[in-house]
Amino acid sequence: MKIRSIHILSAFALLLFLMMPFSASAASSEGETGQRPVQAFDVVAGKVVKTVPNSPEYQGYAKSWLKTTTGLSPKLQPEDKCGYVFRIPLDEPTAVKAGAEQVTTQDVFLFYCPKKPQLLLIFDENRKPYLLTFKANIKPFLKALDL
């Protein structure tokens, strides 16, 4: 029962991270660019563990991932027991092919769990979620974040 409670708390913390426009620490990190920062959420710890200023480099990573989407994930939800969720706010709304649909998103969430396929989560204009598979090398992104 205790393990189930921990999973429920982790899922709740993850949901809060995904639905928040951005955290208070992110607001102070917004800087002069006016862009929301990139954040790393540790799923096991249940909290944001790193916030860095958004930059053209991070925009490039996120947009290149969106160009390599291969379709909707057969999973109903991302892995919630390990790894990180990275939030990369986009500098402008970006069109993405989500299965048979074309949607526009303003945030990209990368679900990274070692030894499992990486997934992207995006939300359309109406906050409808799309969990996507993609083919891209995320190692340069992880290295840039120093994780």
Domain at 72, CATH number: 3.30.1490
Give the whole-angstrom CA distance, residue 140 versus residue 55: 14
Query: Is residue 59 within 8 Å of residue 65, measured between CB atoms?
Result: no
pLDDT reported for residue 23: 45
pLDDT reported for residue 33: 53
User: What is the arrangement of strands in the sheet containing 119-123, beginning at the earlier edge strand?
Assistant: 47-52, 38-42, 84-98, 101-112, 119-123, 129-134, 69-72
Largest CA distance in the chain: 47
pLDDT reported for residue 68: 94
Number of structural domains the chain divides into: 1
Q: 136: which DSSP letter?
A: -
Low-confidence ranges of the chain (pLDDT < 70): 1-33, 76-80
How confident is the model over 54-85, as pLDDT tens digits? 999 999 999 999 999 999 988 766 666 779 99
Query: Is residue 63 within 8 Å of residue 118, measured between CB atoms?
Result: no
Structure tokens at 121: 């989560």
pLDDT reported for residue 5: 32
In 3D space, the residue among 5, 71, 13 whose CA is nearest the CA of residue 42 turns out to be 13
Give the whole-angstrom CA distance, residue 88 versus residue 109: 6
Neighbouring CB atoms inside 10 A of 43's CB total 22
pLDDT reported for residue 139: 95
Give the whole-angstrom CA distance, residue 48 versus residue 109: 13
Which domain, by its residues, includes 132? 2-145
